[in-house]
Each structure stands twice: as C-alpha cells, then as structure tokens.
Amino acid sequence: MKKEKMVIGWREWVQLPDLGIKSIKAKIDTGARTSSLHAFDVETFKRREIEYVRFKVHPKQKDSKFTVKCEARILEYRLVKSSTGHSSERPVIITEIHMLGKAWDIELTLANRDEMGFRMLLGREGMRERLIVDPGKSFYGGQPVKKSLKTTRAIKK
C-alpha cells in the first residue's frame, strides 16, 4: 500500500519544535539534496564524550533582533557546496519538522544564511517519499498565527 504524499508550495511555514522554533518560512528547494538552517554564533562542545552544537537562529526574515538559542547533538560534518559554488564543512543535526499537520525527522546543515532570502531550505532528502511540490503555489499550510514571540532556549538530547 502506497503512502499518500502531501502537496506543498514552493515556500511553506514550518515548525522545528526540538529547537524551539515555532515558525520559520522555508524555501522548498528540489535542487538541494540537504536541508539547511540559518545559524550563527555556532560553537561545538562535548557532553559525556558526545559532540553537540550550540547556535542561535533568527527565524524571521529581515529581523535580526528576535533570536532563538538552540542546542542539538551533532550527527556528522558534511562538505556542502553552496549555490555560489563555495564548499564548506558544516555540522549536521537531526531534528523534527512539523508541516501541514504531519511530523518527521530531517537532517539539517547549519550555515549563516543572514544574507539569503530564506532562513531555511528544505532539500530533497527532507521531502523524499512524503511531499510533492506545486511550484505555482505557496503556503498550502496557511500563514502562522501572529502573536508575541519571546526568545526561547531549546535543548535536544
């Protein structure tokens, strides 16, 4: 029995609850293999001989004041080529994504995307076997509820 795939637009609002991110606009990028999240002040550390990363995120486009502080276990480091052709080694984490009432784990590379149009890219691996992209539409999941968001700290163990 085949699983029914959800249809999404070329951009969607998603949540990353393990990281304390209640709402972030993601560009759906079928040209990118790996998903990427805007991160800055990235620092790695060890806890009980396991490597973690601590970082901050500006989840709102064009807003560098609202900040979410995050921690996650590092899965690995991966050499990633950017859209400009520049390669860099990035930490990779696994976190849960919520979209259109569904939830699943995705791998995210962490990179400074402050100058980019979107703070998050959802790549092919994060969509595989789950999603179909309608490139002519946006926000199948609707717009996020507008309310006061406070700086939060989330830790994924």
Report in angstroms the alpha-carbon separations of 91 from 49, 54, 78, 117, 135: 17, 11, 6, 21, 29
Distance CA 42, CA 53 (A): 7
Q: Which is nearest to 74 in space by CA: 40, 114, 43, 30?
A: 43
| pLDDT surpasses 60 at 156 | no
Of 79-83, 110-114, 133-137, the least confident: 79-83
DSSP state of 91: E
Place of tokens 């984490």: 93
Residues 4-8: what's their mean pLDDT?
93
Across the chain, what does the average pLDDT equal?
88
Is 87:79 a contact under the CB 8 Å cutoff?
yes
Query: CA–CA separation, 11 vs 71, rounded Å?
Result: 26
Distance CA 125, CA 129 (A): 9
pTM for the whole structure: 0.85
Domains, the chain, with CATH or none? 6-38+74-138 (2.40.70.10)
The region that residue 87 occupies, defined by phi over 0 for left and psi between -120 and 50 for alpha, beta otherwise, is beta
pLDDT digits (tens, 9 = 90+) for 119-140: 999 999 999 999 999 999 999 9
pLDDT at 80: 81
Residue range 4-21: mean pLDDT, rounded: 95
Collapsing DSSP to helix, strand or coil, 31 comes out as: coil
pLDDT of residue 1: 60
